[in-house]
Amino acid sequence: MKRTTTKLADGRELIYYDLDDCADRDVLDRRALEPVESQSELRLDRATGDWVAIASHRQGRTHLPPTDACPLCPSGEGRHSEIPTTEYEVVVFENRFPSLAGRVGRCEVVCFTSEHAKSFAELTERRARLVLDAWTDRTEQLASFPGIEQVYCFENRGAEIGVTLAHPHGQVYAFPFVPPRTAKMAAVADTHRAATGRNLFEDLLAEARAATSRVVLAGEHWTAFVPYAARWPYEVHLYPHRRVPDLTRLSEAERAEFPGIYLELLRRFDRLFPRVAPAPQAPTPYISAWHQAPRTGGRELALHLELFTVRRTADKLKYLAGVESGMESFVNDVAPEAAAQRLREVAS
Amino acid sequence: MKRTTTKLADGRELIYYDLDDCADRDVLDRRALEPVESQSELRLDRATGDWVAIASHRQGRTHLPPTDACPLCPSGEGRHSEIPTTEYEVVVFENRFPSLAGRVGRCEVVCFTSEHAKSFAELTERRARLVLDAWTDRTEQLASFPGIEQVYCFENRGAEIGVTLAHPHGQVYAFPFVPPRTAKMAAVADTHRAATGRNLFEDLLAEARAATSRVVLAGEHWTAFVPYAARWPYEVHLYPHRRVPDLTRLSEAERAEFPGIYLELLRRFDRLFPRVAPAPQAPTPYISAWHQAPRTGGRELALHLELFTVRRTADKLKYLAGVESGMESFVNDVAPEAAAQRLREVAS
């Protein structure tokens, strides 16, 4: 894998990741861009102890542009996108409309492929491995920045969850604080260690593998299962069998097996719901989230990926209304064992 | 206020609330209804310590029925809804598709008016007061049920947040556990008391009233303000000036002033965004949530209402994607002070 770091016209960093060690990425961004002025501000919600990012400059961000104006496609004849080259494999750059920027973190965009109409599930294993290597590299580099507490690699897919650019891409947030879900998991895992002497996530993985009714897919190094108390209609957690704190600590064997397992999970998500007339559904919307140990207080946290969809039937979504958004309490209309069975049925 | 408690054909409780002490509610539900079979199950998410309700019987619940089949309209010529009478003022009944039922709590539906096309904002002050009295009565009664830890009165409004019945209504959840947001607020308030000797919510209210830039509306007994670290584009917290733990402890003067203030807030929410061709927007979607002290461990919790919308511009919604749903961390694109100013500009 070759990494080439460059700058965009407004000073933002752009990084190419290539399988070919001889890839030439020596193209300048010739746009006349104003420097980014980010007004991100972190505010502590004293009623809950949670940080909130106030980012009012984001109201003007690019919203569902026409395909020929896609800022994530390569540049070409007469048009200049965020990526100066005419093709790329995987590219990462600083978001022009970041939620976190300057002294309060960093937001990056990860383009999974230069092909606009593809999805992650359609990548080859080699190219999916390149994305894994890019996520790993971003984790290592961003974690070394001063003040960064947590590196969060994720993909939002589908207009149903608010995705504003159709081009296949994910994001990396470098948080200057430990986000609430991480903090909660770390605290619960510490309590579990104190009570049992064992690691919580190793126990959850062992129980899921032993019971089998919630296992979706298992390899030599990874197992994907629906959690016992799943919050989402279809939710899968993917763990390496060997506990590691973050992506940088995966072994070569684990890295080699990941693409096949993850691509199969994504393909199964796309087969969950029938696409029938008169309402052929768009591909399954999903959120795919890497949970990693934070810099502070996360000794027990185990690297894992949480993949879930907000779609609960072919034509109905799960909304976060008064119970979820008001009380942070979840109601799930699909039994986890039934979800796991369905996800086994739609295997390739 | 007169309360009349009856039973629906399948044994669920239905309760009328009337301004007229002579209202006659002696009408039987003559439908042939199968008894409700709820399979709600509470599961503890051991990775976070949060309870999740698994309610797979809800997949078949009524979804956006045509107006003439609305189950919340009164019954009439040849059609039988959930309410046997031909008109009503406020009525409450047990949800036929509950998230929580049996030994794991109770879910009720609160119909605000028998007029299908109205909204809460269009109620008269007398009728809004009747709803307040119904919420108060439900709080008192449900809190007395064995095993109930928290009574939660709320309204979801708008298809944009997944409301499946257009008729103006809210819900009451009687939780058998302290929901995560309540638990978090109670813990933070305990810490604040230990550190300062003061109540956290009294401090937050006093600071908002002193600074004024985030105040939206103030009466003699209530103040509405945008919180310093608001999570939602437009979010208002409404507190009585005198701290009370729950609705049952409001004084007559506080109860009398509430309807005028709350109705004005709802009207302002409906005026936030222009309704212009070619895309006249539906009324502003919102979630309105009463936060009350739970049975256990909530000594410091102050009754207040949190009202917020997921709409961030006339034609754009705030979605809960990878950052919010994956990490429980919020990014808000509207500065709280700007939101408060806008909410003052649209006063009646």
* Interface touch A154/B326, C-beta < 8 Å: yes
Give chain A positions within 8 Å (CB) of B182: 327
Task: From A106, A155, A128, A114, select the one nearest A1 (Cα to Cα).
Answer: A128
pLDDT bracket for residue A52 (50, 70, 90): very high
Q: Compare all CA atoms of chain A with the CA of B327 and give the residue at the minimum distance.
A: A181
Is the confidence at residue B110, as pLDDT, over 80?
yes
Furthest C-alpha separation in chain B: 64
* Interface touch B323/A173, C-beta < 8 Å: yes
**What is the C-alpha to C-alpha distance for residues A183 and A293, in angstroms, rounded to an integer?**
10
Inter-residue contact B328 to A291 (CB < 8 Å): no
Q: Compare all CA atoms of chain B with the CA of A300 and give the residue at the minimum distance.
A: B47
**What is the C-alpha to C-alpha distance for residues B321 and A286, in angstroms, rounded to an integer?**
9
**What is the C-alpha to C-alpha distance for residues A232 and A335, in angstroms, rounded to an integer?**
10
Minimal Cβ distance to B180: which of A200, A328, A336: A328
* Interface touch A50/B329, C-beta < 8 Å: yes
For chain A, the average pLDDT equals 93
A141-158 as b/e, with b when 16 or more CB fall inside 10 Å? bbbeeeebbbbbbbbbbb
Q: What percent of chain A has pLDDT over 90?
A: 80
Q: Compare all CA atoms of chain B with the CA of A162 and give the residue at the minimum distance.
A: B319
Is the confidence at residue A278, as pLDDT, over 70?
no
Give chain B positions within 8 Å (CB) of A50: 184, 229, 328-330
Task: From B44, B140, B147, B130, select the one nearest B89 (Cα to Cα).
Answer: B130
Task: Determine which of B109, B177, B199, B325 to mutate to test the interface with A (most A C-beta atoms within 10 Å).
Answer: B325
Instruction: Please report, as a single letter, which amino acid is at residue A311.
Output: R
Q: Model confidence over B162-206: pLDDT tens digits?
A: 898 999 999 999 999 999 999 999 999 999 999 999 999 999 999
The size of chain A, in residues, is 348
Minimal Cβ distance to A323: which of B99, B201, B229: B99
* Interface touch A332/B50, C-beta < 8 Å: no
Active site residue A169: yes
Inter-residue contact B41 to A330 (CB < 8 Å): no
Choose the catalytic residue: B169, B221, B291, B304.
B169
Of A73-82, A279-288, B44-53, B98-107, highest mean pLDDT: B44-53
Give A223-282 as a DSSP string. Answer: EEE--TT-SSSEEEEEEESS--SSGGG--HHHHHHHHHHHHHHHHHHHTSS---TT-PPP
Residue B328 has a CB neighbour count (10 Å cut-off) of 18
Q: Model confidence over A160-192: pLDDT tens digits?
A: 998 989 999 999 999 999 999 999 999 999 999
> What ipTM did this prediction achieve?
0.94
Give chain A positions within 8 Å (CB) of B228: 43, 45-46
Task: From B204, B199, B197, select the one nearest B186 (Cα to Cα).
Answer: B199
Is the confidence at residue A280, as pLDDT, over 60?
no
